[in-house]
Chains A and B, each alone.
Chain A
Amino acid sequence: DGGITQSPKYLFRKEGQNVTLSCEQNLNHDAMYWYRQDPGQGLRLIYYSQIVNDFQKGDIAEGYSVSREKKESFPLTVTSAQKNPTAFYLCASRGDSGANVLTFGAGSRLTVL
């Protein structure tokens, strides 16, 4: 079955540590996205990539970094510069339907201790 796989599902990190969240898709989609979800705030866009080796900052990119070396993979690194990293992180991809329809992974919950 085609879909998006995010790992790990749960992650605990000490303050000052960087952590990388994995996102892999087998949908053959060109565009991929990272969102952050906090209670009462909906989804906020961190980074997105429309093609391999290219990515753009979203609305809340500070303290995060990404890479897009392969079409299938779009890992997100939460750096120690991110002041409030505890959140639910969602990866998504978009196909060619022309309607901006996103397919989401199951999410990764990061908790900073």
Chain B
Amino acid sequence: QKEVEQDPGPLSVPEGAIVSLNCTYSNSAFQYFMWYRQYSRKGPELLMYTYSSGNKEDGRFTAQVDKSSKYISLFIRDSQPSDSATYLCAPSGTSYGKLTFGQGTILTVHP
């Protein structure tokens, strides 16, 4: 079993839809939960991160962590074509900078 599992998709939605991207993980030591966005042929960029369980909102994006079920979610409201990218979840524990990345979910938002 991989430490982090993420549905690779691809996921295709119409503009304005609510998107749910999910990851599961097996390591209970994970405390930081990152979401990176990667446009085609570019490096990933940090979208948002949360510490421990709970929700965090940033504009149209909401990150949710449920440590009891080891489940991570990213919700995108009012999705836009500019949101089309690969989304990577990346939890980490106290291991110094050693992130464990999910496989990435390819999202396409069509007008």
Say if the beta carbon of B60 comes within 8 Å of chain A.
no
CA distance A45 to B101 in the complex (A): 9
- Complex interface residues of chain B between 54 and 111 (CB less than 8 A to chain A): 88, 90, 92, 96-99, 101-104
Chain A contact surface mostly? strand
The total of chain B residues at the interface (CB under 8 A) is 25
A40 neighbours in B (Cβ, 8 Å): 8, 103
The total of chain A residues at the interface (CB under 8 A) is 27
Most chain A CB within 10 A, of B34, B36, B101, is at: B101
Residues of A bordering B, CB below 8 Å: 4, 6, 31, 33, 35, 40-45, 48, 50, 58, 90, 92, 94, 99-107, 109
CA distance A50 to B96 in the complex (A): 9
